[in-house]
Structure 1
Amino acid sequence: MESIQMKAIIVLLTFLCSSNAKGQWNAPRKEVLNIVQNALMTSVEQYHYLMQQLQPDQWPRTYENGKVYTVSNKAWISGFYPGTLLYLYEFSNDMELWKAAHQKLQRMEDLQNMTEHHDLGFMMYCSYGNAFRLFPDSVRYKEILIQSAKSLATRFNPRVGCIKSWDSVLSLDKKRMLKFPVIIDNMMNLELLFFASKATGDPFFKKIAIKHAETTMKNHLRPDFSSYHVVDYDEHTGKVKSRETQQGFADNSTWSRGQAWGIYGFTMVYRETKDRRFLHTACKMADFFLNHKNLPLDKIPYWDFNVGQVGYNPQWNYNPSLYKEIPRDASAAAITASALIELSGYVEKRKSLIYQQAAESILTSLSSQNYRATVGSNGGFILKHASGGVPGNVEVDVPLSYADYYYIEALMRYAQLKIR
């Protein structure tokens, strides 16, 4: 009976999201390719301008009230700026971009031993991972990435089956301390672990990445494939203690960037495993995002899909009068566009076209004057209208370094469709 049920599940998954095992993508549309090429060229100019705003020990965070705000190399976002420089160098072969990226990489080497949180994947794979991809003979880059994976792996708890995101965090209503919080964002850090297994031949890293993805698939997703932001576990038993949010509108709402992390993360895990469960999950999460009744026509989502709606009650003092309109999140759009371009190569033709066309629509919107800054403005950041932490009224409707990173990655992925 058990084997019959398993076969039925496999057949159902095959029907719902048939995979293209060879990874075949559709050709790019010429008019969109022209938009992409122009956006990449102007982004090179814009990042030359951004480079001039920074000191050697500064990494760009955002631009507000006429000022560029920066962070140190220890911030979770530190990998995005050198990663963006490397993508733009790959596009342009502009050595000034490479020099700026290399300078940042040199100042990030010590981070390979950081074990304080899960964001090491963002920090090191978006930076050193791209550097190693461009310079695969670099033993030093490879060693740093492997050590970074070892550091990240120390946060894995086999009883829970997850990598612990933060050591602890106060709940949004400030009434409880979450002792083993795991956030949907953590799916993005698994790529570093998959890399380490391939680089070393040790399956350990891959095994814990898969286990984390399986646990997240089980506990972070609702029946409609929307996602919770945070799941807090009992570290001794592995049982779920709560499902809630730190950055969304309400515990039961769908934070748009969290949904984007999930689409991207499960797509990547399918690439690394060819396990159809992860493909199915990526597809259904993407379908939720794209078919949601509250997704604006330009496909740039509000920061949360359920802001202000009946049945979604925030655990914090939400004040809609702070904003003229519901803030958008260009970063969620950019992450989703990048994921959809990859996902479109793994599914059957009809679904592939839907995902590619959605990515094209998002990139067209982001590349318009509504979202892309003119060269020499916006503090040097490429995109406008991203939102970081609305519940804390932090980084609302501003440029963000990770919005730029995933936008440029999506543009590069689209530009490379013609040579796949």
Structure 2
Amino acid sequence: MPLASVPADEWRKMQRTLLELFSENILAKMLRVAVEALENNVPPTVYPEFVPQHGDSAGKYFLRDADFWTCGFFPGILYLLRERAVRYPQVFPYLGHEGTRVPVSSSSLRHQLAELCCSWTGPVKAMMSRTDTHDMGFIIQPSLQKDWELTSNEDSLHAVLTAARSLASRYVPQVGVIRSWNILRQTDVLIASMTDDCLVIIDSMMNLDLLYYASKHLADSSLAEIATTHARTLLKSLLRPEPTPVGNDRSYKNPLYSTFHVVNFDPHSGGIKQHRTAQGYRADSTWARGQAWAIFGYAKTYNWTKDKDFLAAACGLADYFLWRLETAPLCVEQPAVGGELDCQKKIGRYVPLWDFDAPIEDESMPLRDSSAGVIAANGMMLLSQSLAVLGDTALAEQYQLAAMRIVSDTIELSLSRERAQLAGDPQNENIITVEDVVNGQRFDSILKNATANHNSQSHDHYSDHGLVYADYYLLEFGNQLLRMGLA
């Protein structure tokens, strides 16, 4: 649907909802976690990962060992806030501007953000030479690449470039892929041979950006060649062609694709031994976050290569994601809560189920993954920019609108209602503290309803919670809007 055909009231409502991306609540929550999680944790050995929604620990971040793949996202959140403070002061109207509730100076906040960024990034930088993981992009780029781009810190650039070489060391030329995992262990399977197995996951598409970025800085085409070969191999091994839906209003210009999560290659022949899932419902289902990683990863890969095969893949993946959102069971739509003039308003249509093919266990509260939605939205927004450059304005507007609908709906359904706000000493504007808007009501993450892993065979099984990368990609979407001049 072109933006021009969106009803004006829907467009205004969506724009108002998206203002939450720049709210005091978001800044206050992240500052509080950044300060409190450093208590007895300097330098950090554990990093925020998820926030339980239920039980005795509800509302407080669970801190995970620093070597876990998610360690880069919380420092990345701080850098996204720092980017806003430096480049987009218009979205910080509560920092010492006229009429603010708390006399907090913008210079004090920038100074505190810089110190917190440094504290949380130090141990991440030390991981730049790791060769035991393919997640070097997730670990290094959110903070250290951003630090380089904001401050011209050559040490941070060195870490990014070193991390790219570390990632490239996992390349298996006989298969044409970067090995993702060394081992897959579940209750019914153990795949652990480094000589007879080569495990690759769809998430790996997101780490290719690191190789392309370093390739340009180093003038080393081999890094880009590895990334492109990996992306091409996954086109054939992890993307599944899907039939074009019949009787749908959307026009599809490209073949549609769903995704497998895991493929195990024979490292000698390059052939596929089997497909599996580690976090989805079953091997042949479509795990929502895997589909989202693929959309964003192929959109990024197209931007580097300008290869139309990758653009077509990203569009086909996005269209399939949207079709599954639009055709999900009616129970995904929930009554809007609080303050709505229209008491019949429903929300949740665009917040994906955790796996598009999994049975719904509780129709009154379907299990979702809000992180999958905001990741996919970032990919679609990037796609919209690429298509606009190519002159395909109609499709560009469709993806821009879809991305904004997903994020707007996610905010309406999954935003934590336990809000925080800045507090300060009226006599000293350099003292910045955080308090609950309603005393005693606290939830550390911005979004709820994320699901890290609901696979029944997994040993690391947890769902329906706040999640650090859901918040990271929510804030990244806001920063994308700022960079595009849409906010």
The alignment's TM-score, normalised by the length of structure 1, stands at 0.85
| From 299, 309, 313, the counterpart of 1:267 | 299
For structure 1, which segment, 41-50 or 239-248, has the greater mean C-alpha deviation from structure 2 after superposition?
41-50
Match of 1:407 in 2: 474
Separation (CA, whole Å) in 2 of partners of 1:360 and 1:71: 31
| From 82, 85, 91, the counterpart of 1:92 | 85
SS of residue paired to 1:205: helix
Q: CA deviation at 1:177?
A: 4.9
Matched, 1:300 2:364: no
Matched, 1:103 2:119: yes
Unaligned residue ranges in structure 2 (runs of 5+) = 1-10, 87-108, 243-256, 333-347, 421-435
Deviations 1:29-51 (A, max 9, x none): 66544433332222112212222
SS of residue paired to 1:290: helix
Output the amino acid matched with 2:288.
S
For structure 1, which segment, 51-60 or 216-225, has the greater mean C-alpha deviation from structure 2 after superposition?
51-60
Q: Report 1:134-145 matches (<5 A).
A: 134-135=150-151, 137-145=152-160
Separation (CA, whole Å) in 2 of partners of 1:294 and 1:238: 37
Matched, 1:80 2:73: yes
Match of 1:364 in 2: 408
Separation (CA, whole Å) in 2 of partners of 1:61 and 1:271: 30
SS of residue paired to 1:226: strand
| From 54, 58, 73, the counterpart of 2:37 | 54
Deviations 1:145-170 (A, max 9, x none): 11101111110001111110111213
Match of 2:429 in 1: none
The CA RMSD over aligned residues, in Å, is 2.1
SS of residue paired to 2:36: coil
Q: CA deviation at 1:345?
A: 1.2
Match of 1:315 in 2: none
SS of residue paired to 2:485: helix
> 1:363·1:411 contact (CA, 8 Å) conserved in 2?
no
After superposition, the Cα gap between the structure-2 partners of 1:163 and 1:50, relative to the gap in structure 1 and judged at 3 Å, is same
Matched, 1:155 2:143: no
For structure 1, which segment, 362-371 or 300-309, has the greater mean C-alpha deviation from structure 2 after superposition?
362-371
Matched, 1:113 2:129: yes
| From 21, 24, 31, the counterpart of 1:39 | 21
After superposition, the Cα gap between the structure-2 partners of 1:38 and 1:379, relative to the gap in structure 1 and judged at 3 Å, is closer
Identity %: 30
> 1:83·1:405 contact (CA, 8 Å) conserved in 2?
yes
> 2:184·2:190 contact (CA, 8 Å) conserved in 1?
no
Separation (CA, whole Å) in 2 of partners of 1:378 and 1:190: 37
Output the amino acid matched with 2:28.
E
> 1:33·1:414 contact (CA, 8 Å) conserved in 2?
no
| From 219, 233, 246, the counterpart of 1:215 | 233
Output the amino acid matched with 1:124.
I
Match of 2:396 in 1: 352
After superposition, the Cα gap between the structure-2 partners of 1:327 and 1:193, relative to the gap in structure 1 and judged at 3 Å, is same
Separation (CA, whole Å) in 1 of partners of 2:486 and 2:365: 41
| From 192, 196, 214, the counterpart of 2:214 | 196
Output the amino acid matched with 1:367.
I
Q: CA deviation at 1:404?
A: 0.5
Deviations 1:165-192 (A, max 9, x none): 1112135632655731100000000111
Deviations 1:28-84 (A, max 9, x none): x66544433332222112212222330231310112233421023211001100111
Deviations 1:204-229 (A, max 9, x none): 11000000000011110111210000
After superposition, the Cα gap between the structure-2 partners of 1:401 and 1:92, relative to the gap in structure 1 and judged at 3 Å, is same
Match of 1:316 in 2: none
Matched, 1:398 2:470: no
SS of residue paired to 1:112: coil
Structure richer in strand, relative to its length: 2
SS of residue paired to 2:465: coil
> 1:371·1:383 contact (CA, 8 Å) conserved in 2?
yes
SS of residue paired to 1:124: helix
Separation (CA, whole Å) in 2 of partners of 1:32 and 1:117: 39
> 2:240·2:259 contact (CA, 8 Å) conserved in 1?
yes
Q: CA deviation at 1:142?
A: 1.0
Output the amino acid matched with 2:366.
I
Q: CA deviation at 1:125?
A: 1.2
Output the amino acid matched with 2:219.
G
For structure 1, which segment, 173-182 or 110-119, has the greater mean C-alpha deviation from structure 2 after superposition?
173-182
Match of 1:181 in 2: 199
After superposition, the Cα gap between the structure-2 partners of 1:31 and 1:308, relative to the gap in structure 1 and judged at 3 Å, is closer
SS of residue paired to 1:382: coil
Separation (CA, whole Å) in 1 of partners of 2:285 and 2:354: 11
Match of 2:483 in 1: 416
Separation (CA, whole Å) in 1 of partners of 2:373 and 2:312: 21
Output the amino acid matched with 2:20.
N
After superposition, the Cα gap between the structure-2 partners of 1:175 and 1:193, relative to the gap in structure 1 and judged at 3 Å, is closer
Deviations 1:361-407 (A, max 9, x none): 11212222643442245542111110001124733100010001111
> 2:350·2:410 contact (CA, 8 Å) conserved in 1?
no
Q: CA deviation at 1:419?
A: 7.0
Matched, 1:168 2:183: yes
After superposition, the Cα gap between the structure-2 partners of 1:306 and 1:378, relative to the gap in structure 1 and judged at 3 Å, is farther
> 2:445·2:467 contact (CA, 8 Å) conserved in 1?
yes
> 2:280·2:287 contact (CA, 8 Å) conserved in 1?
yes
Q: CA deviation at 1:127?
A: 1.8
After superposition, the Cα gap between the structure-2 partners of 1:378 and 1:287, relative to the gap in structure 1 and judged at 3 Å, is farther
> 2:49·2:64 contact (CA, 8 Å) conserved in 1?
yes
> 1:168·1:180 contact (CA, 8 Å) conserved in 2?
no
Matched, 1:132 2:118: no
The alignment's TM-score, normalised by the length of structure 2, stands at 0.74
> 2:51·2:62 contact (CA, 8 Å) conserved in 1?
yes
Matched, 1:333 2:373: yes
> 1:89·1:97 contact (CA, 8 Å) conserved in 2?
yes
> 1:164·1:180 contact (CA, 8 Å) conserved in 2?
yes
Separation (CA, whole Å) in 2 of partners of 1:85 and 1:32: 26
Match of 2:248 in 1: none
Separation (CA, whole Å) in 2 of partners of 1:354 and 1:38: 23
Separation (CA, whole Å) in 2 of partners of 1:367 and 1:88: 18
After superposition, the Cα gap between the structure-2 partners of 1:161 and 1:378, relative to the gap in structure 1 and judged at 3 Å, is farther
> 2:266·2:273 contact (CA, 8 Å) conserved in 1?
yes
